[in-house]
Amino acid sequence: MIVAIDGPAGSGKTTVAEQLAKRLSFSFLDTGATYRVLTYAVLEKGVNPEDEEGLTNLAKSLDLKIDNNKVYLKDADISKEIRKPRIDKNISKIVGFKRVREIMNGLQRKEAAGKNYVVEGRDITTVVFPDAEFKFYLDANQKIRIERRVQQLLKEGEVVNQQEVADDLVKRDKADKNREVGSLRLTEGTRYIDTTHLLIPEVIEKLFAIIKEK
């Protein structure tokens, strides 16, 4: 069974998906992390982020593994590296290419095939797993999402410029919702959950109750 969760940055979907998976005794897949690994590889190898052919070839050869919520590239744990601000600044340039997304979507489907998974991202309910048994769209107002992202970075020990964080999030929102392929959108059959005034445990309980009811 697949539980698919979409939503913009700072909506709480990664934390909710991870903890919901534990509650259900399912595996968890953060598809955004797969694109973050690709962005990390692009920056490390000096690939032009506007070169679709170069990005496609890199995506095809990506030696990526996600195990127990740790992210590995060629057996190197880069879980913390892919969450740094430099990834946020560059990821939007990379995730909009059709062929790149097709390759990454294939990796994501292969990982979850025939298993019980909670999967989160930007186009999980619309493109990657449109036939998922349960589909949710988590959202929150932009001010709250910016504050959450700032607190997350501070917690991780990053030096934070709040205006830069806000600019990056606004830029990401625009790119996510307007890209030609894999855009972030709410579709019929997907349950909308506003997390603006909810704590993480409350969101998890709400989703868990919906799933258990059916």
| pLDDT tens per residue across all 214 residues of the chain | 999 999 999 999 999 999 999 999 999 998 888 999 999 999 999 999 999 999 999 999 999 888 777 899 998 999 999 999 899 889 988 888 889 999 999 989 988 889 999 999 999 999 999 999 999 999 999 999 999 999 988 988 888 899 999 999 999 899 899 988 889 999 999 999 999 999 999 999 999 999 999 7
What tokens were used for 65? 């593994």
Angle, alpha carbons 47-73-117 (nearest 5°): 115
* Contact predicate 80/152, CB 8 Å: no
Q: Going by C-beta distance under 8 Å and a sequence separation of 6 or more, which residues neighbour residue 188?
A: none
Angle at 170 between CA 198 and CA 79, to 5 degrees: 70
Short-list 13, 31, 33, 9, CA closest to 149: 9
66: left (phi over 0), alpha (psi -120 to 50) or beta: beta
Distance CA 66, CA 37 (A): 10
What pLDDT is attached to residue 100? 93
Residue 75 main-chain phi, psi, to 5 deg: 70, 5
Distance between CA atoms of residues 148 and 144, nearest Å:
6
The pLDDT score that the predictor gives to residue 128 is 95
Domains detected in the chain? 2-204 (3.40.50.300)
Q: What is the reported pTM?
A: 0.85
